[in-house]
């Protein structure tokens, strides 16, 4: 992991560039292409200036359908930054809500496999928005920049061919002191749960089944990776 992947955007505290990671076939992830963060509505004016100077021109807000408590995305921003909302989860799914909605485990990666199996179309829609984004960097975010953002980051890095160990290490940079305690109560760890999600994931077939085309996959890889 490269320390300067972590970005200091005043107001947010969980911002990092997904560039500089070793990918498949001698490639690496591009710098300045995808940034993950907590909610940009918390940014100060200086934070917005840093975001813009980093090259971000598209912001994709990863939301939960049916959840009224999500922080509203009402922050002011530069006129040429495009904002896109994608609902990657659905709390009106009764089975999901009963299993996770009343549980603290919804704020851990233990729910990733269930979410991935339920909503390939929703997750693919988020990646399609990235593939079709205007030129410039793309910011993906949720409220804390941990789990919804973590799922989409997992898919992006898996598609790029980043190793499972590095995907886990990226997620673990989103520090949550309570997470390991909650997972220990379920006799598992962050590392074990994410590796389990990745082991069961055929990334290309998953995204194609969710509605992406081969053209979309090629566009994502072009955006995501470059030669070392």
Establish if 88 belongs to a structural domain: yes
The total number of structural domains that make up the chain: 1
Is 8 domain-assigned? no
* pLDDT in single tens digits along all 228 residues of the chain: 445 899 999 999 999 999 999 999 899 999 999 999 999 999 999 999 999 999 999 999 999 998 866 666 556 678 999 999 999 999 999 999 999 988 889 999 999 999 999 999 999 999 999 999 999 999 999 999 999 999 999 999 999 999 999 999 999 999 888 999 999 999 999 999 999 999 999 999 999 999 999 999 999 999 999 998
Token pair in block for residue 123:
């997750």
87 inside domain = yes
pLDDT for the residue numbered 70: 62
Enter the tokens of residue 164. 């499972």
In a domain, 4, yes or no: no
Tokens 């939960």 sit on residue? 64
- Domain of 94: which CATH number? 3.90.190.10
Helix (H/G/I), strand (E/B), else coil: 138: strand
The two three-digit tokens of residue 114, written as one number: 């269930």
**Host domain of residue 183:** 15-227
Question: Exposure of 53 by Cβ count < 10 A (0-12 exposed, 13-18 middle, 19+ buried)?
Answer: exposed
Alpha helices in the chain (DSSP H): 45-53, 94-96, 112-118, 120-131, 148-160, 164-172, 179-184, 190-199, 203-209, 214-224
């Amino acid at each position: 992991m490269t320390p300067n992947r972590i970005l200091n955007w005043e107001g947010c505290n969980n911002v990092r560039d997904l560039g500089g990671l070793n990918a498949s076939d001698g490639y690496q992830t591009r710098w300045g292409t995808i940034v993950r963060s907590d909610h940009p509505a918390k940014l100060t004016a200086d934070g917005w200036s840093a975001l813009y100077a980093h090259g971000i021109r598209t912001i994709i807000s990863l939301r939960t359908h049916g959840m009224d408590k999500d922080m509203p995305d009402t922050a002011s921003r530069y006129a040429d930054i495009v904002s896109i909302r994608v609902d990657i989860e659905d709390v009106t799914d009764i089975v999901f809500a009963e299993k996770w909605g009343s549980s603290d485990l919804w704020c851990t990666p233990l729910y990733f496999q269930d979410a991935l199996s339920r909503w390939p179309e929703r997750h693919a829609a988020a990646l399609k928005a990235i593939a079709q984004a205007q030129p410039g960097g793309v910011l993906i975010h949720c409220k804390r920049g941990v789990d919804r953002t973590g799922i989409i980051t997992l898919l992006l890095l898996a598609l790029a061919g980043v190793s499972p160990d590095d995907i886990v290490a990226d997620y673990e940079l989103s520090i949550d002191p309570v997470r390991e305690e909650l997972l220990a109560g379920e006799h598992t760890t962050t590392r074990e749960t994410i590796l389990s999600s990745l082991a069961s994931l055929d990334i290309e077939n998953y995204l194609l089944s969710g509605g992406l085309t081969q053209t979309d996959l090629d566009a994502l890889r072009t955006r995501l990776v470059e030669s070392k």
